[in-house]
C-alpha cells in the first residue's frame, strides 16, 4: 500500500514564502510520486483560534486553495479539502482529548509562549488564552491520525506538534488496540526555517512575511530591504548568520548555493547579492503567479474543487471514526 503524506495550512492570512518552502513545495513534489497518496488541506477549524473574522477566513481559504493548485497539485490525484468539510475530525479530536494528559498540553510551545508573556507582564497566567489555543495540538493530531498519515512535511516550528501527535496516538493505541498510525515528520534541511527580511523566522506573528505572490517589482523592492551588515563591496562577507544567504539556500540548488557562498567570500556587493536572490526567486514563482491569478478570477471553480475533495476525504474518514467509536465503547453508527 502507498505511503500517505499529509499536511495543512491555516487559512488566517495570505500564503507566504515560508508556507511555500516549508509545506507547499515539498508536498507538491511528493504528490507526484507513484508510491504516495497525498492529503492536503486548509486548516480552517484551526484558523478560528487566532482569527474571529469570518470574511478573512473565507478569503484566505480561497487564496490558499488557489495556491495549492497554482503550485501544481492535481486535485484528481490527491485529496485537497477543507478541514471543516470533514466534521469527523472534531469528533476524533474529542476521543483523543480524553487520552491526552493536560500536562503534555501545558508544555506546548504556542501555549507556553502566551503564558510566559502574561507572567512577564504581571498578568494572570492564562489571560487572553482561549481553550482553543490550549487544545490546538489535539486538533492537529486528529487531522493527521484520521487519515492514517505516515509522513507529514512541515517547517521546523511544527516538530513539537508532530511529537505530540505520536504521543497521543500511542496513548490511544495502548488503551484500545493498534488502531492509529504513528506519523513521522518530514523536514527539508535546506529550509527548516525560512527567515524574513529582519532575519527572524518568517511568520504572521512577527509581521515580516513576504506574500508568495507579491507582484514582481514589489518583490524586488522587498528583497532589497533584507537586513545585511555594513561590509563594503569587495570585502568578504560571512554566510554564517546571513539571513539573505539562508533565504537563497531555501530556493536554490546545491550548486547555486555553493556559487553564492564563493561570491560571498570574494566580496560580492550586497546590492548584487540581493539582485541575484530576487532573480532566482522570481524565476521559480513567476509561472505559478500567473496560474494563481487566473485561478483567483474564478472562485466558484475553486469552491467546486474543494467540495469534491471534501466529499472524497469524508468518505474515508467517516467509516474510520465509526470504527474508533466502537473501539472505545460508543454506539456503532453504521
**3-state class (DSSP) for residue 172:** helix
Contact range with ligand TYM by CB under 6 A, out of 4-12, 125-133, 258-266, 306-314:
4-12
Establish if 95 lies at the interface with ligand TYM (CB under 6 A).
Answer: no
Establish if 62 lies at the interface with ligand TYM (CB under 6 A).
Answer: no
Establish if 143 lies at the interface with ligand TYM (CB under 6 A).
Answer: yes
Binding residues for ATP: 10-12, 18-19, 155-157, 194, 201-205
| Of residues 58, 36, 39, the one with CA closest to residue 47 | 58
Closest distance to ligand TYM from the beta carbon of 46 (Å): 5
Give the x/- contact pattern for ligand TYM in 164-203, rule: CB under 6 A: ---------------------------x-xx------xxx
| Of residues 12, 7, 15, 40, the one with CA closest to residue 187 | 7
Establish if 47 lies at the interface with ligand TYM (CB under 6 A).
Answer: no
Contact range with ligand TYM by CB under 6 A, out of 119-127, 137-145, 167-175, 320-328:
137-145
Distant-in-sequence, close-in-space partners of 261: CB < 8 Å, separation ≥ 6: 239, 245
In angstroms, the Cα distances linking 224 to 39, 109, 273 are 37, 33, 9
Cell of 61: 481559504
Establish if 9 lies at the interface with ligand TYM (CB under 6 A).
Answer: yes
| Of residues 75, 95, 28, the one with CA closest to residue 313 | 75
Distant-in-sequence, close-in-space partners of 209: CB < 8 Å, separation ≥ 6: 13, 14, 16, 17, 18, 196, 202, 203
Establish if 60 lies at the interface with ligand TYM (CB under 6 A).
Answer: no
Burial of 200 (0-12, 13-18, 19+ CB in 10 A): middle
Establish if 85 lies at the interface with ligand TYM (CB under 6 A).
Answer: no
Query: Closer to ligand TYM at the Cβ: 63 or 143?
Result: 143
Establish if 154 lies at the interface with ligand TYM (CB under 6 A).
Answer: yes
Query: Closer to ligand TYM at the Cβ: 247 or 278?
Result: 247
Restricted to residues 263-302, the positions that interact with ligand TYM (CB under 6 A) are none
Closest distance to ligand TYM from the beta carbon of 108 (Å): 11
**3-state class (DSSP) for residue 8:** strand
Query: Closer to ligand TYM at the Cβ: 10 or 31?
Result: 10
Cα separation, 134 vs 21, in Å, equals 27
Cα separation, 166 vs 181, in Å, equals 8
The owner of cell 502566551 is: 114
Cell of 136: 490546538
Establish if 313 lies at the interface with ligand TYM (CB under 6 A).
Answer: no
Q: Given candidates 155, 268, 285, 295, which one binds ligand TYM under the rule CB under 6 A?
A: 155
| Residues at the contact surface with ligand TYM, assessed by CB under 6 A | 6-10, 18-19, 21-23, 43, 46, 140, 143-144, 152, 154-155, 157-158, 191, 193-194, 201-203
Amino acid at each position: 500500500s502507498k505511503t500517505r503524506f499529509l499536511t495543512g495550512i491555516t487559512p488566517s492570512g495570505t500564503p507566504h514564502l515560508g508556507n511555500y518552502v516549508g509545506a507547499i513545495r515539498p508536498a507538491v513534489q511528493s504528490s507526484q510520486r507513484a508510491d504516495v497518496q497525498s492529503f492536503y488541506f486548509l486548516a480552517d477549524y484551526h484558523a478560528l483560534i487566532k482569527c474571529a473574522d469570518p470574511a478573512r477566513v473565507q478569503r484566505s481559504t480561497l487564496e490558499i486553495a488557489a495556491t495549492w493548485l497554482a503550485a501544481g497539485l492535481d486535485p484528481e490525484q490527491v485529496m485537497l479539502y477543507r478541514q471543516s468539510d470533514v466534521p469527523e475530525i472534531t469528533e476524533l479530536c474529542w476521543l483523543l482529548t480524553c487520552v491526552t494528559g493536560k500536562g503534555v498540553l501545558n508544555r506546548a510551545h504556542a501555549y507556553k509562549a502566551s503564558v510566559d508573556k502574561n507572567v512577564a507582564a504581571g498578568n494572570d497566567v492564562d489571560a487572553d488564552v482561549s481553550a482553543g489555543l490550549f487544545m490546538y495540538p489535539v486538533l492537529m493530531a486528529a487531522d493527521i491520525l484520521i487519515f492514517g498519515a505516515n509522513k507529514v512535511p512541515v517547517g521546523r516550528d511544527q516538530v513539537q506538534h508532530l511529537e505530540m501527535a505520536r504521543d497521543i496516538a500511542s496513548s490511544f493505541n495502548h488503551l484500545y488496540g493498534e488502531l492509529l498510525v504513528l506519523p513521522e515528520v518530514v523536514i527539508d534541511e535546506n529550509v527548516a526555517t525560512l527567515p524574513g527580511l529582519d532575519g527572524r523566522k518568517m511568520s504572521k506573528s512577527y509581521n515580516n512575511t513576504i506574500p508568495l505572490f507579491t507582484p514582481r517589482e514589489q518583490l524586488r523592492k522587498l528583497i532589497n530591504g533584507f537586513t545585511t551588515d555594513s561590509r563594503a563591496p569587495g570585502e568578504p562577507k560571512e554566510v554564517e548568520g546571513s539571513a539573505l544567504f539562508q533565504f537563497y539556500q531555501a530556493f536554490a540548488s546545491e550548486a547555486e548555493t555553493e556559487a553564492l557562498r564563493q561570491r560571498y567570500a570574494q566580496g560580492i556587493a550586497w546590492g548584487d547579492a540581493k539582485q541575484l536572490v530576487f532573480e532566482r526567486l522570481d524565476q521559480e514563482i513567476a509561472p505559478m503567479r500567473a496560474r494563481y491569478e487566473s485561478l483567483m478570477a474564478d472562485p466558484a471553480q475553486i469552491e467546486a474543487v474543494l467540495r469534491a475533495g471534501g466529499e472524497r476525504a469524508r468518505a474515508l474518514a467517516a467509516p474510520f471514526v465509526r470504527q474508533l467509536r466502537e473501539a472505545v465503547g460508543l454506539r456503532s453508527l453504521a
